[in-house]
Structure 1
Amino acid sequence: MPIKFLPGIALLGTISGLAGAEEPSPLPQLEAYQVPESWLQPVPPLKIGDNTWQIGTEAITSLLLKDPAGAILIDGGMVQTADHLLGNLKALGLQPSDLKLILHSHAHADHVGSLAALQRATGAQVVTNAESAILLASGGADDIHFGDSLLYPPVQADRILHHGELVTLGKLRLQVHFIPGHTPGSMAWTWQDKVDGKTTNIAYVDSLSAPDYQLVDNPRYPDIVQDYGLSFERVGQLPCDLLITPHAGASGWHYRARAVQEKPTDCRAYADRAQKKLERQISAQKVTQSARGHAGP
Protein backbone atom coordinates (compact mmCIF):
# COMPACT_ATOMS: atom_id res chain seq x y z
CA MET A 1 0.00 0.00 0.00
CA PRO A 2 1.22 3.54 -0.66
CA ILE A 3 2.64 5.49 2.24
CA LYS A 4 0.39 8.34 3.33
CA PHE A 5 1.05 11.66 5.05
CA LEU A 6 4.42 12.21 3.41
CA PRO A 7 3.84 15.99 3.48
CA GLY A 8 3.50 15.74 7.26
CA ILE A 9 6.82 13.90 7.52
CA ALA A 10 8.52 16.58 5.48
CA LEU A 11 6.96 19.25 7.67
CA LEU A 12 8.23 17.56 10.83
CA GLY A 13 11.68 17.60 9.37
CA THR A 14 11.35 21.30 8.61
CA ILE A 15 10.12 22.05 12.12
CA SER A 16 12.96 20.13 13.74
CA GLY A 17 15.35 22.09 11.57
CA LEU A 18 14.06 25.30 13.14
CA ALA A 19 15.36 24.33 16.57
CA GLY A 20 17.60 27.07 17.74
CA ALA A 21 16.58 29.32 14.84
CA GLU A 22 14.87 32.70 15.18
CA GLU A 23 11.32 32.43 16.52
CA PRO A 24 8.78 32.72 13.67
CA SER A 25 6.41 35.67 13.47
CA PRO A 26 2.87 35.28 14.85
CA LEU A 27 0.15 34.27 12.45
CA PRO A 28 -1.95 37.17 11.09
CA GLN A 29 -5.07 38.37 12.90
CA LEU A 30 -8.45 37.66 11.38
CA GLU A 31 -9.85 40.60 9.45
CA ALA A 32 -13.50 41.60 9.79
CA TYR A 33 -15.65 42.13 6.73
CA GLN A 34 -15.38 45.89 6.23
CA VAL A 35 -18.10 47.72 4.29
CA PRO A 36 -18.94 51.35 3.44
CA GLU A 37 -20.62 53.29 6.25
CA SER A 38 -23.71 53.85 4.10
CA TRP A 39 -24.35 50.08 4.19
CA LEU A 40 -24.70 50.36 7.96
CA GLN A 41 -26.41 53.76 8.25
CA PRO A 42 -29.93 53.18 9.67
CA VAL A 43 -32.93 54.88 8.09
CA PRO A 44 -36.54 55.01 9.33
CA PRO A 45 -39.24 53.07 7.49
CA LEU A 46 -39.54 54.63 4.03
CA LYS A 47 -42.72 54.16 2.03
CA ILE A 48 -42.38 52.95 -1.56
CA GLY A 49 -45.93 51.69 -2.15
CA ASP A 50 -49.11 51.24 -0.15
CA ASN A 51 -47.81 47.92 1.19
CA THR A 52 -44.09 48.15 0.37
CA TRP A 53 -41.55 49.75 2.71
CA GLN A 54 -37.77 50.08 2.74
CA ILE A 55 -36.67 49.37 6.34
CA GLY A 56 -32.96 48.68 5.82
CA THR A 57 -30.06 51.09 5.65
CA GLU A 58 -29.05 54.04 3.52
CA ALA A 59 -27.47 51.92 0.78
CA ILE A 60 -28.72 48.36 1.36
CA THR A 61 -32.34 47.49 0.66
CA SER A 62 -34.49 45.45 3.04
CA LEU A 63 -38.10 45.47 1.87
CA LEU A 64 -41.08 44.88 4.12
CA LEU A 65 -44.42 43.98 2.53
CA LYS A 66 -47.43 44.45 4.81
CA ASP A 67 -50.82 42.73 4.82
CA PRO A 68 -53.46 42.20 7.54
CA ALA A 69 -52.37 38.53 7.51
CA GLY A 70 -48.80 39.48 8.41
CA ALA A 71 -45.61 40.73 6.79
CA ILE A 72 -42.91 39.51 4.40
CA LEU A 73 -39.28 40.64 4.56
CA ILE A 74 -37.02 40.51 1.51
CA ASP A 75 -33.32 40.75 2.51
CA GLY A 76 -31.92 41.57 5.92
CA GLY A 77 -28.64 43.37 5.28
CA MET A 78 -25.53 42.87 7.42
CA VAL A 79 -25.38 40.92 10.70
CA GLN A 80 -25.44 44.22 12.64
CA THR A 81 -28.85 45.28 11.27
CA ALA A 82 -31.12 42.76 13.02
CA ASP A 83 -32.12 45.03 15.92
CA HIS A 84 -32.57 47.97 13.55
CA LEU A 85 -34.95 45.97 11.36
CA LEU A 86 -36.95 44.80 14.38
CA GLY A 87 -37.16 48.40 15.52
CA ASN A 88 -38.52 49.46 12.15
CA LEU A 89 -41.13 46.71 12.32
CA LYS A 90 -42.27 48.19 15.63
CA ALA A 91 -42.29 51.69 14.12
CA LEU A 92 -44.73 50.37 11.50
CA GLY A 93 -47.02 49.00 14.19
CA LEU A 94 -45.88 45.38 13.87
CA GLN A 95 -44.79 42.87 16.48
CA PRO A 96 -41.95 40.41 15.74
CA SER A 97 -44.50 37.60 15.45
CA ASP A 98 -46.24 39.50 12.64
CA LEU A 99 -43.32 38.72 10.35
CA LYS A 100 -44.34 35.46 8.71
CA LEU A 101 -41.94 34.98 5.78
CA ILE A 102 -38.31 35.91 5.10
CA LEU A 103 -37.16 35.97 1.47
CA HIS A 104 -33.90 37.20 -0.02
CA SER A 105 -32.03 38.09 -3.21
CA HIS A 106 -28.74 36.19 -2.79
CA ALA A 107 -26.90 34.57 0.10
CA HIS A 108 -24.01 36.96 0.70
CA ALA A 109 -23.35 38.49 4.12
CA ASP A 110 -24.42 42.01 3.15
CA HIS A 111 -27.96 40.82 2.36
CA VAL A 112 -28.61 37.80 4.61
CA GLY A 113 -26.27 38.45 7.53
CA SER A 114 -29.12 39.20 9.96
CA LEU A 115 -31.51 36.44 8.85
CA ALA A 116 -30.57 33.91 11.55
CA ALA A 117 -31.24 36.47 14.30
CA LEU A 118 -34.49 37.57 12.65
CA GLN A 119 -35.61 33.97 12.26
CA ARG A 120 -35.06 33.37 15.99
CA ALA A 121 -36.71 36.63 17.06
CA THR A 122 -39.82 36.32 14.89
CA GLY A 123 -40.37 32.63 14.14
CA ALA A 124 -40.75 33.57 10.46
CA GLN A 125 -40.15 30.93 7.81
CA VAL A 126 -37.12 31.37 5.55
CA VAL A 127 -38.04 30.77 1.91
CA THR A 128 -35.28 30.28 -0.67
CA ASN A 129 -34.05 28.00 -3.46
CA ALA A 130 -31.82 24.92 -3.29
CA GLU A 131 -28.62 26.69 -4.39
CA SER A 132 -28.98 29.44 -1.80
CA ALA A 133 -30.09 27.04 0.94
CA ILE A 134 -26.69 25.33 0.82
CA LEU A 135 -24.81 28.61 1.21
CA LEU A 136 -27.19 29.84 3.93
CA ALA A 137 -26.75 26.62 5.92
CA SER A 138 -22.97 26.97 5.77
CA GLY A 139 -23.08 30.57 6.92
CA GLY A 140 -21.46 31.72 3.68
CA ALA A 141 -18.50 29.33 3.97
CA ASP A 142 -16.77 27.98 0.87
CA ASP A 143 -18.32 30.59 -1.38
CA ILE A 144 -17.42 29.97 -5.04
CA HIS A 145 -15.79 33.38 -5.43
CA PHE A 146 -15.00 34.57 -1.89
CA GLY A 147 -14.08 31.41 -0.01
CA ASP A 148 -14.57 31.93 3.73
CA SER A 149 -14.23 35.72 3.74
CA LEU A 150 -17.97 36.58 3.94
CA LEU A 151 -19.18 34.52 6.88
CA TYR A 152 -22.41 35.04 8.85
CA PRO A 153 -24.55 33.01 11.29
CA PRO A 154 -25.96 29.96 9.47
CA VAL A 155 -29.61 29.99 8.41
CA GLN A 156 -31.84 26.96 7.93
CA ALA A 157 -34.37 27.12 5.10
CA ASP A 158 -37.99 26.20 5.79
CA ARG A 159 -39.20 26.08 2.18
CA ILE A 160 -37.40 25.43 -1.10
CA LEU A 161 -38.72 27.12 -4.23
CA HIS A 162 -38.72 26.33 -7.94
CA HIS A 163 -38.27 28.98 -10.63
CA GLY A 164 -41.53 30.81 -11.27
CA GLU A 165 -43.22 29.67 -8.06
CA LEU A 166 -45.63 31.95 -6.20
CA VAL A 167 -45.25 32.92 -2.56
CA THR A 168 -48.47 34.21 -0.98
CA LEU A 169 -49.54 35.72 2.33
CA GLY A 170 -53.04 37.17 2.59
CA LYS A 171 -53.43 39.32 -0.50
CA LEU A 172 -49.67 39.50 -1.13
CA ARG A 173 -48.62 37.49 -4.18
CA LEU A 174 -44.94 37.38 -5.10
CA GLN A 175 -43.37 35.42 -7.95
CA VAL A 176 -39.77 34.25 -7.79
CA HIS A 177 -37.46 34.31 -10.82
CA PHE A 178 -34.13 32.49 -10.71
CA ILE A 179 -31.36 34.68 -12.15
CA PRO A 180 -28.08 32.80 -11.52
CA GLY A 181 -24.76 34.54 -12.01
CA HIS A 182 -23.86 36.84 -9.14
CA THR A 183 -24.43 33.66 -7.14
CA PRO A 184 -25.80 30.35 -8.46
CA GLY A 185 -28.90 30.95 -6.32
CA SER A 186 -29.59 34.62 -7.13
CA MET A 187 -33.26 35.55 -7.37
CA ALA A 188 -35.61 38.33 -8.46
CA TRP A 189 -39.08 38.93 -7.02
CA THR A 190 -42.08 40.57 -8.68
CA TRP A 191 -45.42 41.70 -7.26
CA GLN A 192 -48.03 44.43 -7.65
CA ASP A 193 -48.71 47.33 -5.30
CA LYS A 194 -50.33 50.76 -5.47
CA VAL A 195 -47.72 53.50 -5.88
CA ASP A 196 -49.10 57.04 -5.79
CA GLY A 197 -52.56 55.56 -6.33
CA LYS A 198 -51.55 53.59 -9.45
CA THR A 199 -51.32 49.80 -9.71
CA THR A 200 -47.60 49.17 -10.30
CA ASN A 201 -45.52 46.12 -11.22
CA ILE A 202 -42.60 46.13 -8.79
CA ALA A 203 -39.47 44.11 -9.55
CA TYR A 204 -36.86 43.53 -6.87
CA VAL A 205 -33.92 42.26 -8.90
CA ASP A 206 -30.68 40.84 -7.56
CA SER A 207 -27.24 42.14 -8.48
CA LEU A 208 -26.10 41.28 -12.00
CA SER A 209 -22.47 42.25 -11.37
CA ALA A 210 -19.40 39.98 -11.35
CA PRO A 211 -16.96 41.73 -8.97
CA ASP A 212 -13.48 40.33 -9.72
CA TYR A 213 -15.05 36.98 -10.66
CA GLN A 214 -13.19 34.47 -12.79
CA LEU A 215 -15.43 34.30 -15.84
CA VAL A 216 -13.14 32.39 -18.23
CA ASP A 217 -12.57 28.70 -17.43
CA ASN A 218 -13.85 28.88 -13.88
CA PRO A 219 -13.45 25.34 -12.46
CA ARG A 220 -15.94 25.94 -9.62
CA TYR A 221 -18.60 27.47 -11.86
CA PRO A 222 -18.03 26.26 -15.45
CA ASP A 223 -21.37 27.60 -16.76
CA ILE A 224 -21.12 31.04 -15.15
CA VAL A 225 -21.17 32.98 -18.44
CA GLN A 226 -24.11 30.98 -19.76
CA ASP A 227 -25.99 31.56 -16.50
CA TYR A 228 -25.45 35.30 -16.72
CA GLY A 229 -26.78 35.22 -20.30
CA LEU A 230 -29.92 33.41 -19.15
CA SER A 231 -30.40 35.92 -16.35
CA PHE A 232 -29.98 38.97 -18.59
CA GLU A 233 -32.75 37.59 -20.78
CA ARG A 234 -35.05 36.83 -17.86
CA VAL A 235 -34.54 40.18 -16.17
CA GLY A 236 -35.22 42.03 -19.39
CA GLN A 237 -38.62 40.34 -19.66
CA LEU A 238 -39.83 40.91 -16.08
CA PRO A 239 -42.98 42.94 -15.38
CA CYS A 240 -41.15 46.04 -14.25
CA ASP A 241 -42.82 49.42 -13.84
CA LEU A 242 -40.62 50.07 -10.82
CA LEU A 243 -37.17 48.52 -10.34
CA ILE A 244 -35.56 48.11 -6.91
CA THR A 245 -32.18 46.47 -6.28
CA PRO A 246 -30.38 45.13 -3.19
CA HIS A 247 -27.71 47.83 -3.55
CA ALA A 248 -29.87 50.94 -3.80
CA GLY A 249 -27.61 52.91 -6.11
CA ALA A 250 -27.66 50.21 -8.79
CA SER A 251 -31.21 51.25 -9.66
CA GLY A 252 -30.89 54.95 -8.81
CA TRP A 253 -32.44 54.87 -5.33
CA HIS A 254 -31.47 57.05 -2.39
CA TYR A 255 -32.74 56.16 1.08
CA ARG A 256 -32.59 59.01 3.58
CA ALA A 257 -35.59 60.98 4.84
CA ARG A 258 -37.55 59.54 1.90
CA ALA A 259 -37.08 56.75 -0.61
CA VAL A 260 -36.34 58.59 -3.86
CA GLN A 261 -35.38 57.09 -7.21
CA GLU A 262 -33.45 60.03 -8.64
CA LYS A 263 -32.29 58.16 -11.74
CA PRO A 264 -35.09 55.75 -12.66
CA THR A 265 -34.20 52.77 -14.79
CA ASP A 266 -36.12 49.73 -15.96
CA CYS A 267 -35.26 46.04 -15.95
CA ARG A 268 -34.26 45.94 -19.62
CA ALA A 269 -31.80 48.80 -19.25
CA TYR A 270 -30.47 47.30 -16.00
CA ALA A 271 -29.80 43.97 -17.72
CA ASP A 272 -28.31 45.55 -20.85
CA ARG A 273 -25.90 47.67 -18.81
CA ALA A 274 -24.77 44.64 -16.82
CA GLN A 275 -24.35 42.54 -19.96
CA LYS A 276 -22.08 45.12 -21.60
CA LYS A 277 -19.94 45.32 -18.48
CA LEU A 278 -19.68 41.53 -18.29
CA GLU A 279 -18.63 41.31 -21.94
CA ARG A 280 -15.83 43.80 -21.24
CA GLN A 281 -14.69 41.74 -18.28
CA ILE A 282 -14.66 38.54 -20.33
CA SER A 283 -12.65 40.19 -23.12
CA ALA A 284 -10.10 41.53 -20.63
CA GLN A 285 -9.71 38.13 -18.98
CA LYS A 286 -9.20 36.43 -22.34
CA VAL A 287 -6.48 38.94 -23.24
CA THR A 288 -4.75 38.34 -19.89
CA GLN A 289 -5.05 34.58 -20.29
CA SER A 290 -3.63 34.73 -23.82
CA ALA A 291 -0.70 36.88 -22.69
CA ARG A 292 0.15 34.40 -19.96
CA GLY A 293 0.01 31.57 -22.46
CA HIS A 294 2.45 33.30 -24.82
CA ALA A 295 4.78 34.14 -21.95
CA GLY A 296 5.37 30.46 -21.31
CA PRO A 297 6.58 28.86 -18.07
Structure 2
Amino acid sequence: MAIAVGRVIFLAQPYSSSAAFISKTKCRPSLFLKNSIFPAKSRITQRNYRTTVRAQERPTWLPGLDPPPYLDGTLAGDFGFDPLGLGENPESLKWYVQAELVHARFAMAAVAGILLTDLLRVTGISNLPVWYEAGAVKFKFANTQTLFLVQLILMGFVETKRYMDFKNPGSQARDGPFLGIEASLEGLEPGYPGGPLFNPLGLAKDIKNAHEWKLKEIKNGRLAMVAMLGIFVQAYVTHVGPIDNLVEHLSNPWHRTIVQTLANSGS
Protein backbone atom coordinates (compact mmCIF):
# COMPACT_ATOMS: atom_id res chain seq x y z
CA MET A 1 0.00 0.00 0.00
CA ALA A 2 1.35 3.36 -0.99
CA ILE A 3 0.02 6.64 0.44
CA ALA A 4 0.59 9.88 -1.45
CA VAL A 5 -0.48 13.43 -0.60
CA GLY A 6 -4.20 13.72 -1.19
CA ARG A 7 -4.26 10.36 -2.99
CA VAL A 8 -4.27 6.82 -1.72
CA ILE A 9 -3.29 4.01 -4.07
CA PHE A 10 -4.02 0.40 -3.12
CA LEU A 11 -2.26 -2.30 -5.07
CA ALA A 12 -3.63 -5.82 -4.76
CA GLN A 13 -1.57 -8.77 -5.95
CA PRO A 14 -3.41 -10.76 -8.68
CA TYR A 15 -3.74 -14.51 -8.29
CA SER A 16 -3.93 -15.43 -11.95
CA SER A 17 -4.57 -13.79 -15.28
CA SER A 18 -6.47 -10.70 -14.21
CA ALA A 19 -7.87 -7.44 -15.45
CA ALA A 20 -7.28 -4.29 -13.42
CA PHE A 21 -9.85 -1.61 -13.15
CA ILE A 22 -9.50 1.89 -11.76
CA SER A 23 -12.22 3.76 -9.97
CA LYS A 24 -11.97 7.35 -8.77
CA THR A 25 -14.19 8.74 -6.05
CA LYS A 26 -14.15 12.05 -4.29
CA CYS A 27 -13.12 11.84 -0.68
CA ARG A 28 -12.70 14.14 2.26
CA PRO A 29 -9.31 14.37 3.99
CA SER A 30 -9.18 12.79 7.38
CA LEU A 31 -8.89 14.94 10.49
CA PHE A 32 -5.33 13.76 10.86
CA LEU A 33 -4.32 14.95 7.39
CA LYS A 34 -6.19 18.23 7.75
CA ASN A 35 -4.82 19.33 11.11
CA SER A 36 -1.46 17.65 11.42
CA ILE A 37 0.25 17.37 8.05
CA PHE A 38 -0.97 20.11 5.69
CA PRO A 39 -3.35 22.38 7.58
CA ALA A 40 -2.96 25.21 5.05
CA LYS A 41 -4.02 23.04 2.16
CA SER A 42 -7.13 21.51 3.68
CA ARG A 43 -9.45 23.12 1.11
CA ILE A 44 -7.30 21.83 -1.72
CA THR A 45 -7.17 18.35 -0.31
CA GLN A 46 -10.97 18.32 -0.09
CA ARG A 47 -11.03 18.35 -3.89
CA ASN A 48 -8.50 15.61 -4.23
CA TYR A 49 -9.39 12.14 -5.38
CA ARG A 50 -8.64 8.75 -4.05
CA THR A 51 -7.56 6.36 -6.79
CA THR A 52 -8.00 2.71 -6.11
CA VAL A 53 -6.27 0.19 -8.31
CA ARG A 54 -7.54 -3.26 -7.66
CA ALA A 55 -6.56 -6.47 -9.43
CA GLN A 56 -9.67 -8.46 -10.13
CA GLU A 57 -9.11 -12.17 -10.13
CA ARG A 58 -10.66 -14.00 -13.05
CA PRO A 59 -13.40 -16.33 -11.79
CA THR A 60 -12.56 -20.00 -12.26
CA TRP A 61 -14.44 -23.19 -11.48
CA LEU A 62 -11.98 -23.81 -8.62
CA PRO A 63 -10.89 -20.64 -6.79
CA GLY A 64 -7.18 -20.02 -6.99
CA LEU A 65 -6.68 -22.39 -9.92
CA ASP A 66 -4.81 -21.05 -12.94
CA PRO A 67 -6.85 -21.81 -16.07
CA PRO A 68 -5.12 -23.44 -19.05
CA PRO A 69 -3.64 -20.92 -21.52
CA TYR A 70 -6.01 -21.85 -24.34
CA LEU A 71 -9.01 -20.91 -22.18
CA ASP A 72 -8.40 -17.18 -22.03
CA GLY A 73 -11.90 -16.13 -20.92
CA THR A 74 -13.15 -15.01 -24.33
CA LEU A 75 -15.63 -17.90 -24.68
CA ALA A 76 -19.06 -17.59 -23.09
CA GLY A 77 -19.12 -19.49 -19.80
CA ASP A 78 -15.36 -20.05 -19.78
CA PHE A 79 -14.31 -20.72 -16.18
CA GLY A 80 -11.15 -22.62 -17.06
CA PHE A 81 -12.68 -26.09 -16.66
CA ASP A 82 -10.93 -28.64 -18.84
CA PRO A 83 -9.28 -31.27 -16.61
CA LEU A 84 -8.77 -33.68 -19.52
CA GLY A 85 -7.22 -31.09 -21.83
CA LEU A 86 -9.77 -31.73 -24.57
CA GLY A 87 -9.62 -28.15 -25.85
CA GLU A 88 -5.88 -27.92 -26.47
CA ASN A 89 -6.48 -28.26 -30.20
CA PRO A 90 -8.13 -24.99 -31.39
CA GLU A 91 -10.24 -26.78 -34.02
CA SER A 92 -11.45 -29.35 -31.49
CA LEU A 93 -12.24 -26.58 -29.02
CA LYS A 94 -14.51 -24.86 -31.56
CA TRP A 95 -16.40 -28.11 -32.13
CA TYR A 96 -16.75 -28.82 -28.40
CA VAL A 97 -18.19 -25.33 -27.90
CA GLN A 98 -20.85 -26.00 -30.54
CA ALA A 99 -21.54 -29.48 -29.17
CA GLU A 100 -22.05 -28.16 -25.65
CA LEU A 101 -24.35 -25.43 -26.94
CA VAL A 102 -26.56 -27.91 -28.82
CA HIS A 103 -26.72 -30.33 -25.89
CA ALA A 104 -27.56 -27.45 -23.55
CA ARG A 105 -30.47 -26.38 -25.74
CA PHE A 106 -31.78 -29.93 -26.04
CA ALA A 107 -31.55 -30.31 -22.26
CA MET A 108 -33.45 -27.06 -21.63
CA ALA A 109 -36.21 -28.13 -24.01
CA ALA A 110 -36.31 -31.62 -22.48
CA VAL A 111 -36.55 -30.42 -18.88
CA ALA A 112 -39.33 -27.97 -19.74
CA GLY A 113 -41.24 -30.63 -21.70
CA ILE A 114 -40.87 -33.33 -19.03
CA LEU A 115 -41.95 -31.06 -16.17
CA LEU A 116 -44.92 -29.64 -18.08
CA THR A 117 -46.28 -32.98 -19.29
CA ASP A 118 -45.65 -34.60 -15.91
CA LEU A 119 -47.55 -31.78 -14.20
CA LEU A 120 -50.48 -32.23 -16.57
CA ARG A 121 -50.45 -35.98 -15.93
CA VAL A 122 -50.22 -35.78 -12.12
CA THR A 123 -52.96 -33.15 -11.84
CA GLY A 124 -55.22 -35.18 -14.11
CA ILE A 125 -55.61 -32.41 -16.68
CA SER A 126 -54.45 -34.69 -19.47
CA ASN A 127 -54.06 -38.43 -19.80
CA LEU A 128 -50.38 -38.45 -20.76
CA PRO A 129 -47.85 -41.22 -20.23
CA VAL A 130 -44.87 -40.76 -17.95
CA TRP A 131 -42.01 -39.23 -19.93
CA TYR A 132 -39.83 -42.36 -20.24
CA GLU A 133 -42.75 -44.32 -21.72
CA ALA A 134 -43.81 -41.64 -24.22
CA GLY A 135 -41.73 -43.18 -27.00
CA ALA A 136 -43.71 -46.43 -26.85
CA VAL A 137 -47.10 -44.75 -27.24
CA LYS A 138 -49.00 -45.64 -30.41
CA PHE A 139 -50.48 -42.65 -32.23
CA LYS A 140 -53.57 -42.95 -34.41
CA PHE A 141 -52.46 -40.53 -37.13
CA ALA A 142 -49.22 -42.45 -37.96
CA ASN A 143 -47.40 -45.60 -36.97
CA THR A 144 -44.12 -45.63 -35.07
CA GLN A 145 -41.97 -46.52 -38.07
CA THR A 146 -43.32 -43.60 -40.09
CA LEU A 147 -42.75 -41.12 -37.26
CA PHE A 148 -39.22 -42.40 -36.76
CA LEU A 149 -38.43 -42.06 -40.46
CA VAL A 150 -39.83 -38.51 -40.63
CA GLN A 151 -37.86 -37.50 -37.55
CA LEU A 152 -34.70 -39.04 -38.98
CA ILE A 153 -35.06 -37.11 -42.25
CA LEU A 154 -35.89 -33.76 -40.63
CA MET A 155 -33.22 -33.90 -37.94
CA GLY A 156 -30.67 -35.23 -40.38
CA PHE A 157 -31.35 -32.33 -42.73
CA VAL A 158 -31.08 -29.69 -39.99
CA GLU A 159 -27.96 -31.22 -38.42
CA THR A 160 -26.27 -31.51 -41.80
CA LYS A 161 -26.94 -27.84 -42.48
CA ARG A 162 -25.65 -26.91 -39.05
CA TYR A 163 -22.44 -28.84 -39.66
CA MET A 164 -21.98 -27.21 -43.07
CA ASP A 165 -22.40 -23.77 -41.51
CA PHE A 166 -19.85 -24.71 -38.85
CA LYS A 167 -17.31 -25.76 -41.47
CA ASN A 168 -18.00 -22.73 -43.69
CA PRO A 169 -19.57 -19.94 -41.59
CA GLY A 170 -22.22 -17.99 -43.45
CA SER A 171 -22.54 -20.49 -46.29
CA GLN A 172 -26.08 -21.50 -45.29
CA ALA A 173 -27.31 -17.90 -45.20
CA ARG A 174 -26.98 -17.53 -48.96
CA ASP A 175 -29.97 -17.86 -51.24
CA GLY A 176 -30.93 -21.41 -52.03
CA PRO A 177 -29.24 -23.85 -49.62
CA PHE A 178 -32.02 -23.79 -47.00
CA LEU A 179 -35.14 -24.32 -49.14
CA GLY A 180 -35.54 -20.61 -49.71
CA ILE A 181 -36.22 -19.67 -46.09
CA GLU A 182 -32.81 -18.13 -45.44
CA ALA A 183 -34.38 -14.71 -44.82
CA SER A 184 -36.44 -16.20 -41.99
CA LEU A 185 -33.37 -17.68 -40.31
CA GLU A 186 -30.97 -14.77 -40.65
CA GLY A 187 -27.95 -16.57 -39.25
CA LEU A 188 -25.85 -14.46 -36.90
CA GLU A 189 -22.85 -16.74 -36.44
CA PRO A 190 -22.29 -20.53 -36.15
CA GLY A 191 -24.49 -21.84 -33.38
CA TYR A 192 -26.64 -18.70 -33.17
CA PRO A 193 -29.37 -18.57 -35.82
CA GLY A 194 -31.71 -15.61 -35.77
CA GLY A 195 -34.66 -14.28 -37.72
CA PRO A 196 -38.35 -14.52 -36.76
CA LEU A 197 -38.16 -18.31 -36.36
CA PHE A 198 -35.30 -18.54 -33.85
CA ASN A 199 -35.21 -15.01 -32.48
CA PRO A 200 -38.79 -13.67 -32.57
CA LEU A 201 -38.11 -11.13 -29.79
CA GLY A 202 -35.09 -9.69 -31.57
CA LEU A 203 -32.72 -10.26 -28.65
CA ALA A 204 -28.96 -10.03 -29.08
CA LYS A 205 -29.03 -8.98 -32.72
CA ASP A 206 -25.45 -7.75 -32.32
CA ILE A 207 -24.18 -11.24 -31.58
CA LYS A 208 -20.54 -10.14 -31.43
CA ASN A 209 -21.27 -8.01 -28.37
CA ALA A 210 -23.91 -10.26 -26.80
CA HIS A 211 -21.57 -11.88 -24.28
CA GLU A 212 -24.05 -11.47 -21.41
CA TRP A 213 -26.85 -13.23 -23.33
CA LYS A 214 -24.49 -16.04 -24.34
CA LEU A 215 -23.36 -16.44 -20.74
CA LYS A 216 -26.93 -16.65 -19.46
CA GLU A 217 -27.84 -19.25 -22.08
CA ILE A 218 -24.89 -21.54 -21.44
CA LYS A 219 -25.32 -21.29 -17.65
CA ASN A 220 -28.99 -22.27 -17.90
CA GLY A 221 -28.08 -24.98 -20.38
CA ARG A 222 -25.50 -26.51 -18.06
CA LEU A 223 -27.99 -26.42 -15.21
CA ALA A 224 -30.54 -28.17 -17.46
CA MET A 225 -28.03 -30.90 -18.34
CA VAL A 226 -27.44 -31.56 -14.64
CA ALA A 227 -31.22 -31.55 -14.11
CA MET A 228 -31.66 -34.12 -16.87
CA LEU A 229 -29.09 -36.34 -15.19
CA GLY A 230 -31.10 -36.08 -11.98
CA ILE A 231 -34.33 -36.91 -13.81
CA PHE A 232 -32.69 -39.98 -15.37
CA VAL A 233 -31.48 -41.22 -11.97
CA GLN A 234 -34.88 -40.56 -10.36
CA ALA A 235 -36.69 -42.49 -13.06
CA TYR A 236 -34.28 -45.43 -12.74
CA VAL A 237 -34.51 -45.59 -8.96
CA THR A 238 -38.15 -44.68 -8.28
CA HIS A 239 -39.84 -45.61 -11.59
CA VAL A 240 -42.00 -42.46 -11.48
CA GLY A 241 -41.79 -38.96 -12.89
CA PRO A 242 -40.14 -35.93 -11.28
CA ILE A 243 -43.44 -34.33 -10.19
CA ASP A 244 -44.38 -37.59 -8.42
CA ASN A 245 -41.04 -37.47 -6.62
CA LEU A 246 -41.63 -33.86 -5.62
CA VAL A 247 -45.12 -34.55 -4.30
CA GLU A 248 -43.85 -37.50 -2.28
CA HIS A 249 -41.03 -35.45 -0.80
CA LEU A 250 -43.35 -32.57 0.17
CA SER A 251 -45.73 -35.01 1.87
CA ASN A 252 -43.01 -35.90 4.41
CA PRO A 253 -39.93 -33.70 3.88
CA TRP A 254 -37.88 -35.13 6.76
CA HIS A 255 -38.31 -38.78 5.85
CA ARG A 256 -38.86 -38.70 2.07
CA THR A 257 -35.46 -37.52 0.87
CA ILE A 258 -32.91 -38.69 -1.66
CA VAL A 259 -30.98 -40.48 1.09
CA GLN A 260 -33.95 -42.58 2.19
CA THR A 261 -34.98 -43.22 -1.41
CA LEU A 262 -31.56 -44.51 -2.41
CA ALA A 263 -31.30 -46.57 0.77
CA ASN A 264 -34.70 -48.19 0.22
CA SER A 265 -33.96 -48.90 -3.44
CA GLY A 266 -30.99 -51.08 -2.50
CA SER A 267 -32.92 -53.19 0.01
Task: Note whether the superposition's TM-score is higher than 0.5.
Answer: no
TM-score, normalisation: structure 1:
0.20
Largest Rg, 1 or 2: 2
TM-score, normalisation: structure 2:
0.22
